[in-house]
Amino acid sequence: MVDKLNDDIGEEKRLRLWEMMLKLRLVEKKAYDLFLQNLIKGTSHLALGQEAIAGAFGVALKQGDYTFCTYRGHAHTLARGSSIEGVLGELMGRQCGLMKGKGGSMHLTDVDKGVMGSYAIIGAHLTIANGTALASKYNKTNEVSVCFFGDGTTNIGAFHEALNMAKIWNLPIVFVCENNLYMEYTPIHEVTAVEHPAADRAGAYNLDKIIVDGNDADEMLRTAEKAISKAREGKGPSLIEAKTYRHSGHSRADPGKYRPDEEVKDWMENKDPIKNYRAKLLDFNINEKIISEIEEKIKDQVEKATEISMASPIPEIKEIYTDVWANGGSEWHN
Amino acid sequence: MAQLTYRASVSLAIAQSMRKDQKVFFIGEDVGAAGGVFKATVGLLEEFGKERVMDAPISEQAILGAAMGAAMTGLRPIAEIMFSDFLAVCWDIVANQIAKTRYMSDGQINIPLVIRTANGGGSKFGAQHSQSLENWSMMIPGLKVVAPSCPSDVLGLMDSAVKDPDPVIFYEHKSLYAFKEEIEQTDISIPIGEANMLHEGKDITIIGLALMAQRAKEAALILKDKHDINAKVIDLRSLVPLDLQTIKKSVIETGHVLTVEENPRLCGWGAEISSLISEHCFKNLKGPVTRVTTPHVPLPSADILEDNTIPSVELIVNEVIKKLKGE
Ligand SMILES: Cc1ncc(C[n+]2csc(CCOP(=O)(O)OP(=O)(O)O)c2C)c(N)n1
Ligand SMILES: [Mg+2]
């Protein structure tokens, strides 16, 4: 019998990846429950179904590396080790939130963990992520910057400006396109000149064409590690297109009716990254007890964090006037 | 003591900041090997090399995004946008990203960068290369807005802008690049938010910025020589932060105020200042605060058309006479 488990990834890392993905899944589910209870206001974009991508990078990155994500960024933030109550508290507008309610769901930021912000204007953060990568090069340090975005983002100018700049300056950065087949409500193929929205553009910037099954956690991890090493070794940027699917609508307000039932069913039943990874771990002869213990542990963590968030006070009104400027205030005249 | 042009003071100011702090680097289009389209950055590449003086592609979003990201890690970039009009193609990075990230992150992130840009009319370049856009950035919470009117202010304000922990937009006036001044000391610092009194007088306060401050000063000299009117001329130097105290003190002394703005009329900065004055000094006013601005039109190109669009010295003189003597 081949020793499937002790391959390049191994048991320890697989269990970390399992725990990570499960945490992202269960927190997003909790976020959904909290909306239904009207405890989360505003909008929110869940990454349910896309956990293998953020999860793999969370496992592959080192402390000190920089990540940039979009409004669909709860998972990417948690994947860097931010606390669950920091994320849920921010969604609920509580003092325990990562930004004490000043940013909200679409702007999660946790600099201590390398989460350099979540950005809600399509495309901008690709250019900004180049800046942290440029800083690493300028300072001759070896952090890697990673920037996550959607398929729809490949059609805005900033995407193209950022790729060109990253290449000409050989920046230590990994661009990760999460192709979930839809830009908001429109199928991406209806509005894009090429079949693979990111990968088919890679050649224009002298980058390799990389397409990966973003729901296969092991493959995602291998792809992430390879691109991160390349950047860390000073060999320049990568652009990865990871195929995936979101289980829920685009945002809180969207029931996702524009997607064919068959398509949704197929991705939910046959291509769910979590369900498939669990089966894989069993197939690799990992004891089911270990898998379930992790499940219990994460469920417990999410419940505790929810309690902490619900008990956390709402922000003080005076916070409106803080932190516009580095002096902590908001005055604009003497 | 040396005579320095506004243009030369820009490259000297950048060089001085870069010599003092290794964290400062400079990025823009045609800024290094070519020395800038206005030749305001000549010599920087030769002194600091390609690692600190970066010639960028025509990618204004990518330039400001890279500057922002680098600033988030504690570096202190100076980024050039060739003409201020081009801010329109990267306004997302300026207004949504650079300006708001500190606030949205609850103060986790500082963005200590300087965006310097060639602003204003006088060159007959037409409506897309001549605008005076300080008021665009003044409307966005989180941006500091500086516009020097002379070489010494370029030196002193650039020093402060680079050291400032917040993002600063540094509007250089194209028509001032050739302006000369005798300068004793070049390594100087002028705090951002302190207006400068360009001319003393008791009869009226004229408030200007950049080229308009210099024109207001010329007008004040004529008013004094030929019309026996003594005008105070305040060069604001920055719109954010604004030196309201100096404005108030002056209005209390003179009771008459004229703002001189190069921007088109609607929502020009003078409107905000006028409103502040009526809030803070209503009882000291002897008449309405009035504004001289470019009319609400895109800037035309032909000599005679542009010259009659941007407020001139003559127009300022006439407006003051009309105000004070009712003529
Ligand atoms: C510049 C800009 N245009 C439009 C929007 C509105 N918008 C928000 S998300 C979205 C779809 C983005 O699709 P994609 O990049 O595929 O990311 P996904 O939501 O699928 O993760 C759109 C159009 C925006 N936020 N910014
Ligand atoms: Mg999408």
Q: Please say whether the beta carbons of B186 and B12 come within 8 A.
A: yes
Domain that holds residue B262: 196-325
Bridge partners of A211, per DSSP, are A241
Residues A132/A134/A136/A142 CA torsion (nearest 10 deg):
110
User: Last residue of some domain: B142, B159, B183?
Assistant: B183
Residue B36 lies in a domain: yes
Are residues B143 and B251 both part of a single domain? Answer: no
Q: What is the mean pLDDT of residues B8-27?
A: 98
- Which residue in A has a C-alpha nearest to residue B63's C-alpha? A127
Residue A233 lies in a domain: yes
Distance (Å, whole) CA A67 – CA A76: 8
Are residues B136 and B218 both part of a single domain? Answer: no
pLDDT reported for residue A260: 96
pLDDT in tens, B212-269: 999 999 999 999 999 999 999 999 999 999 999 999 999 999 999 999 999 999 999 9
Minimal C-alpha gap between B68 and chain A (Å): 6
- Mean pLDDT of all residues in chain B? 97
DSSP A252: T
Are residues B205 and B148 both part of a single domain? Answer: no
Are residues B207 and B179 both part of a single domain? Answer: no
Residue B274 lies in a domain: yes
Are residues B136 and B281 both part of a single domain? Answer: no
The CATH number assigned to the domain holding B229 equals: 3.40.50.920
SS3 call for B232: strand
Residue B191 lies in a domain: no
Residue A260 lies in a domain: yes
Question: Does any ligand 1 atom lie closer than 6 A to the CB of residue A183?
Answer: yes
Record: contact A131-B66, CB cut-off 8 A = yes
Q: Which member of B75, B101, B103 has the closest CB to residue A138?
A: B75
Q: Please say whether the beta carbons of B183 and B190 come within 8 A.
A: no
Record: contact A334-B141, CB cut-off 8 A = no
**What is the CB-side half-sphere exposure of residue A142 using CA atoms within 13 A?**
10
SS3 call for B206: strand
Q: What is the mean pLDDT of residues B174-178?
A: 98
Are residues B138 and B270 both part of a single domain? Answer: no
Q: Please say whether the beta carbons of B75 and B23 come within 8 A.
A: yes
DSSP per-residue string spanning A186-227: EEGGGG-SSSSTTHHHHGGGT---EEEETT-HHHHHHHHHHH
SS3 call for B64: helix
Phi, psi of B172 (to 5 degrees): -95, 135
Distance (Å, whole) CA B239 – CA B273: 10
Record: contact A99-B104, CB cut-off 8 A = yes
Per-residue tokens: B62:
């990518």
Q: Please say whether the beta carbons of B67 and B77 come within 8 A.
A: yes
SS3 call for A18: helix
Minimal C-alpha gap between A226 and chain B (Å): 24
- Mean pLDDT of all residues in chain A? 97
- Which residue in B has a C-alpha nearest to residue A156's C-alpha? B61
Residue B222 lies in a domain: yes
Longest dimension (CA), chain A: 77
pLDDT reported for residue A93: 97
User: Last residue of some domain: B150, B183, B216?
Assistant: B183
Are residues B162 and B271 both part of a single domain? Answer: no
Can you tell me which residue has the tokens 């937009």? Answer: B169
The CATH number assigned to the domain holding B45 equals: 3.40.50.970
Report mean pLDDT in 10-residue bins for chain A, 334 residues: 76 96 98 94 94 98 98 98 98 98 97 98 98 98 98 98 98 99 96 98 98 98 98 98 96 91 97 98 95 97 98 97 98 98
The CATH number assigned to the domain holding A261 equals: 3.40.50.970
pLDDT in tens, B44-93: 999 999 999 999 999 999 999 999 999 999 999 999 999 999 999 999 99
Domain that holds residue A215: 34-62+123-129+138-298
Q: How many of the other CB atoms lie within 10 Å of CB of A253?
A: 8
Residue A55 lies in a domain: yes
pLDDT reported for residue B327: 59
Centre of ligand 2 to C-alpha A258, Å, is 13
Question: Does any ligand 1 atom lie closer than 6 A to the CB of residue A152?
Answer: yes
The residue among A95, A324, A69 whose CA lies nearest residue B100 is A324
Are residues B244 and B166 both part of a single domain? Answer: no
Total count of domains within chain B: 2
Can B173 be counted among the known catalytic residues? no
Longest dimension (CA), chain B: 60
The residue among A206, A209, A204, A202 whose CA lies nearest residue A223 is A209
Residue B102 lies in a domain: yes
pLDDT in tens, B124-147: 999 999 999 999 999 999 999 999
pLDDT reported for residue A5: 73
Are residues B153 and B252 both part of a single domain? Answer: no
Enumerate residues 6+ apart whose C-beta is below 8 A from A14: A5, A218, A281, A284, A286
Phi-psi bin for A104: left (phi > 0), alpha (psi -120 to 50), beta? left
Residue A334 near chain B (CB below 8 Å):
yes
Record: contact B64-A127, CB cut-off 8 A = yes
Bridge partners of B207, per DSSP, are B234, B259
pLDDT reported for residue A6: 81
Per-residue pLDDT band for B2 (boundaries 50, 70, 90) equals confident
Residue B189 lies in a domain: no
Are residues B157 and B205 both part of a single domain? Answer: no
Cis peptide, bond prior to residue A255, ω within 30 of zero: no
Which atom of ligand 1 is the closest one to the Cα of A154? 15
DSSP per-residue string spanning B2-32: EEEEHHHHHHHHHHHHHHH-TTEEEEETT-S
pLDDT reported for residue B23: 98
User: Last residue of some domain: B183, B206, B227?
Assistant: B183
Pairing state between β A115-119 and A66-70 = parallel
Beta strands per DSSP E along A201-333: 210-213, 238-243
Can you tell me which residue has the tokens 């004793």? Answer: B184
Pairing state between β A186-187 and A182-183 = antiparallel
pLDDT reported for residue A1: 45
Residue B57 lies in a domain: yes
Residue A248 lies in a domain: yes
Are residues B33 and B142 both part of a single domain? Answer: yes
Residue B297 lies in a domain: yes
Are residues B131 and B166 both part of a single domain? Answer: yes
Total count of domains within chain A: 1
